Structure 1
Amino acid sequence: MPKKVASPKAKKSAAAVRDSATETLNLVLARLDDMKAEETVTIDLRGKSAFSDYMVVTTGRSNRHVGAVAENVAKGLKEAGQKKLHVEGLSNCDWVLIDTGEVILHVFRPEVREFYNLERLWTQSPSDEPRIDLKAV
């Protein structure tokens, strides 16, 4: 049976998506740096998730700082022509989520970030988890 080969157009399209995701990630990281966000972690989700390429987790010092960071990033994304932008959590600013489709940004207050610990959830492999065997009684 002949082997299927991706067309040059399909390869180009996949590369464009990857470049677009990297571009969006770089814009987000630059805005976070400008706003003095703390402890920024980038998690590469390519091959682990079908819904996004990158997840960024960062911390703001207070509710006001979390809101300012999130608003600044959202503004930068809109100025860069990002049409598909979903923002949640700006009303209380404990945890603000910005989803571009390619990059998901979580901006937390320190206590909230520690409580949810998303980095552990996405970076820990199944083999790292302690195995618990349950028996029906």
Structure 2
Amino acid sequence: MSTKPDTAKSDALLVTILKSLDDMKAEDVVQIDLRGMSEMGDYMIICSGRSSRQVAAIAQNLVTDVKAAHRRNAKLEGKSAGDWVLVDTGDIIVHVFRPEVREFYQLEKMWLSPEEQAERGMPTGPSTHDPSAE
């Protein structure tokens, strides 16, 4: 069974991204396969940094690593605030959050089935966010 060239490129890029996130001590890394679910990319990665400074550093290091390994420019959004930084590499979208912001938006719940959430030890009930408490 052969792998499509685009899939092979996405998979190689995925390896680079996961290594970069590990090198920068990103926490709670979740990889979501979007192939067949969305046209926005092949994978989505969601991870956390402990502080705004670490979130920004993780994202900037990721952009540098992707460019060095794949000669590909990645788009970076939200770095100045450091609460939620989105890195768009074309085939893979990476969301780097501070933990509180990640809990608020709960992107994993939007993209993972209840079964996948349970496998990852995530609560599968309704959102724990209560807008009336703000």
- How far apart, in 1, do the equivalents of 2:68 and 2:74 lie? 12
Code of the residue aligned with 2:92 in structure 1: it is V
Paired-residue identity, %: 47
Runs of 4+ in 1 over 6 A off after TM superposition: none
- How far apart, in 2, do the equivalents of 1:68 and 1:58 lie? 13
1:88 aligns with 2:95: no
1:19 aligns with 2:19: no
CA RMSD of aligned residues (A): 2.0
After TM superposition, the structure 1 = structure 2 runs for residues 94-105 of structure 1, keeping only pairs within 5 Å, are 94-105=83-94
Does structure 2 retain, via aligned residues, the 8 Å contact 1:96–1:108?
Answer: yes
Q: Structure 2 residue aligned with 1:110, among 99, 103, 118?
A: 99
Aligned residues: 116
TM-score (norm 2): 0.80
Q: Structure 2 residue aligned with 1:50, among 34, 39, 42?
A: 39
Code of the residue aligned with 1:49 in structure 2: it is S
TM-score (norm 1): 0.79
Q: CA deviation at 1:76?
A: 0.2
- How far apart, in 2, do the equivalents of 1:82 and 1:69 lie? 19
- How far apart, in 2, do the equivalents of 1:41 and 1:58 lie? 6
1:119 maps to what in 2? 108
Which runs of 5 or more structure 1 residues have no equivalent in the other structure?
A: 1-11, 131-137
Code of the residue aligned with 1:89 in structure 2: it is G
2:60 maps to what in 1? 71
- How far apart, in 1, do the equivalents of 2:39 and 2:97 lie? 24
1:8 maps to what in 2? none
Does structure 2 retain, via aligned residues, the 8 Å contact 1:82–1:100?
Answer: no
Which runs of 5 or more structure 2 residues have no equivalent in the other structure?
A: 115-123, 127-134
Q: Quick check: which has more Rg, 1 or 2?
A: 1
Q: CA deviation at 1:129?
A: 9.6
- How far apart, in 1, do the equivalents of 2:49 and 2:97 lie? 6
SS in 2 for 1:23: helix
Code of the residue aligned with 1:106 in structure 2: it is H
Does structure 1 retain, via aligned residues, the 8 Å contact 2:28–2:47?
Answer: yes
